[in-house]
């Protein structure tokens, strides 16, 4: 059974970097059949896909245009996890952030992390 466990701070100051990690159990971040995604949810934006990383003989990343200049998603094969970095955050980045595996639908999801951007 695949499980995803998120970690990271719940409060980030404006202009700083939001950093979250998603630890994988029951699968490998290097799996050639899956992709590893970050999604956020807020009352104003609803569910918003941010990006993904996946391995198909080499590593690939895809990012949403809305955050493309500020986002990095990195795999960490040594720890079997992947991370989200979102730079130069503003209060509009306040949301619940989720990681999720894409393997014929998004499942499972991490437990979610409420990240508040505030000074």
Stretch that binds other proteins, among 25-33, 53-61, 71-79, 109-117 (CB under 8 A): 109-117
Residue 87 found at the interface with other proteins (CB under 8 A): no
Query: CB of 62 within 8 A of CB of 78?
Result: no
Q: Least distance (Å) from other proteins to the CB of residue 43?
A: 11
Q: 31, 48, 72, 87: which one contacts other proteins (CB under 8 A)?
A: 48
Residue 43 found at the interface with other proteins (CB under 8 A): no
Residues 6 or more apart whose Cβ sits within 8 Å of residue 77:
29, 30
Closest CA to 47 of 57, 55, 56, 37: 37
Number of residues that bind other proteins (CB under 8 A): 20
Residues found near other proteins in the complex (CB under 8 A): 37, 46-49, 62, 64-65, 98, 100, 102, 104-112
């Amino acid at each position: 059974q695949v499980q995803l466990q998120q970690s990271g701070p719940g409060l980030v100051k404006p202009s700083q970097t939001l950093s979250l990690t998603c630890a994988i159990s029951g699968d490998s971040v290097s799996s050639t059949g899956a992709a590893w995604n970050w999604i956020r949810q807020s009352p104003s934006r609803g569910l918003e896909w941010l990006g993904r990383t996946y391995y198909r003989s080499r590593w690939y990343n895809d990012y949403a245009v809305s955050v493309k200049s500020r986002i990095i998603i990195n795999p960490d094969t040594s720890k079997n996890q992947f991370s989200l970095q979102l730079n130069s955050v503003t209060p509009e980045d306040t949301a619940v952030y989720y990681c999720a595996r894409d393997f014929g639908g998004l499942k499972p999801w991490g437990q979610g992390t409420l990240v508040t951007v505030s000074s």
